[in-house]
Amino acid sequence: MLWSFFHDSLLIWINNFPLLGCIIIIFIPRNQLVLIRFFSLIISSLTFLITIYLWILFDESYFYFQFVISKKILNFELIQYFLGVDGISLFFIILTSLLIFVCFLLNWNANEEYNKEFLILFFMIESLLLNAFSTIDLLLFYIFFEGVLIPIFTIIGIFGSRTRKIRASYQFFLYTLLGSLLILIAILLIYFETGTTNINFLYNVDFYERKQLLLWLAFFASFAVKVPMIPFHIWLPEAHAEAPTSGSIILAGILLKLGGYGFLRFSLPLFPYASFYYSPLIYTLSIIAIIYASLTTLRQVDLKKIVAYSSIAHIGYVILGIFSFNVQGLEGSLLLILGHGFVSSALFLCVGVLYDRYKTRILKYYSGLTTFIPLFAVLLFFFTLANIGLPGTSNFIGEFIILIGLIQTSVIATIFSTSGIILSASYCLWFYNRLIFGNLKENYFKFLQDISKKEFMALIPLVILTLIMGLYPNIFLHSIHITILRLLTHII
């Protein structure tokens, strides 16, 4: 009885389990920090395990949304708590729960400043993101999409590392909010035209071409800021540089993926004509993002900014894949989103390891670390190679499949975007070389210490997942293939 209740409302459990964590933590006294962290870790690991169970139950051959739940919240037809999972959202959900678990593991014996409120904010982010990825209602998606702003704004603004954190948090908030206002107007227009915000119904609506062009632009304004695409990217390096390590992991690993998810879930199937119409513009912005962001990465001296700008370049590939309108491009973009989620989070974690010890992220101070912290050097080398897209790692599979898809659409765009691979090798290897090799600058360092067991345990799952995806991507591709085919039936 209880099992069937759990089984029937699996998505509600997954999405609201973190809220249970919030409630438990609220009632634990502030001075019991070990107990608070213990419960956080238990709740987040349970959420992750339930999402894995969701994957096990997921039917790879089913065409439509699965585990569908519909609950009427208010006596008002417009707002319904309508949830469902398909191949696109499944891995976003798993990635969210995994990275939140990694963040809690990382904060296990962190400073006391990362206290009860910090953990509550993370549970809020987790719940909002899980809801955003599993809702199949446009209005609810908007609510959760915007809701994530508040805890992230607080995390950067309060728990950030430097004085520029206030500026960074406001920049992040204003950029995202400004873009999102247009999407709200678009949602209201869609509702007044169709009478629903349910995606299942909206997928069958054929919007008039001129209307599609306008609505697509409104959605684009929001998702392009979130992704972010050049020239809407200014907030990202600032936010990353000021956020605490866990905040950066969530920002790079999941939050940026909301934009890509939005393009896949809404822009492409709802406005196919407009997506084709604007595709040269999107290609141009993505190529510019790949080349300019890579060149900008080359001249950064802040470790976090290096990873942040390289994220912008990689997301350029994701967008190119999404707008290549074929199976390879779309599947490749989903794989790269996932792979980038593992690799960029791990790189931020590695930067966090250095910052926790030496309280600086400026590259000028570091050199010759391999002699004194070899384990860290090996792990960083692995993730640097994965960031380049070395065969056998997750990013290679994603980028390779995207380029296969892209060349069928535009040879010119493929030629331009492949230059990004060379550039990424340049900045990644230069970054690693400056940090790890050479002579240690002894006048800056008193003593050095390799990574702790806790940090190692946080990094190892990401190493394993990066390798699994790089060596046997079919595990993931099987689950997304049918959904991508369904998506293409709406487009082509």
Partner 1 sequence: MGAMQVKKNPYVEAWVAGRETLEERFRFTPRNIRTALLFGVLVPYGIYLLVAHDMAESKSTDRPEWKHLKREFPGVPVRSADSAQHS
Range 355-384, binding partner 1 (CB under 8 A): 356-360, 362, 364-365
Q: Is 257 helix (H, G, I), strand (E, B) or coil?
A: helix
Shortest distance, CB of residue 364 to partner 1, whole angstroms? 5
Shortest distance, CB of residue 284 to partner 1, whole angstroms? 4
Shortest distance, CB of residue 488 to partner 1, whole angstroms? 11
Shortest distance, CB of residue 296 to partner 1, whole angstroms? 11
174 binding partner 1? (CB under 8 A): no
Name beta bridge partners: 72: 80
Site stretch for partner 1 (CB under 8 A), options 54-62, 253-261, 272-280, 453-461: 272-280
Q: Is the link from the previous residue into 228 a cis peptide, with omega within 30 of 0?
A: yes
53 binding partner 1? (CB under 8 A): no
Shortest distance, CB of residue 245 to partner 1, whole angstroms? 13
The single residue among 97, 169, 197, 409 that binds partner 1, judged by CB under 8 A, is 409
Quote the DSSP letter at residue 374: H
416 binding partner 1? (CB under 8 A): yes
Quote the DSSP letter at residue 230: T
Nearer to partner 1, 231 or 392 (CB): 231
Name the one residue in this structure whose structure tokens are 């339930």: 50
447 binding partner 1? (CB under 8 A): yes
* 57 close to 93: Cβ distance less than 8 angstroms: no
* 335 close to 401: Cβ distance less than 8 angstroms: yes
The single residue among 62, 201, 444, 472 that binds partner 1, judged by CB under 8 A, is 444
Which pair of tokens denotes residue 392?
Answer: 């056998």
Nearer to partner 1, 5 or 447 (CB): 447
> What is the separation, in whole angstroms, between the first and last Cα of the chain?
45
Binding map of partner 1 across residues 286-315, x = CB under 8 A, - = no contact: -xx---x--------xx-------------
Strands 66-72 and 80-85, sheet pairing? antiparallel
Instruction: Measure CA 400 to chain center.
Output: 20
E strand or H helix at 83, and its extent?
strand 80-85
Residues forming the site for partner 1 (CB under 8 A):
164, 272-273, 275-277, 279-281, 283-285, 287-288, 292, 301-302, 325-326, 356-360, 362, 364-365, 408-413, 416, 443-449, 491-492
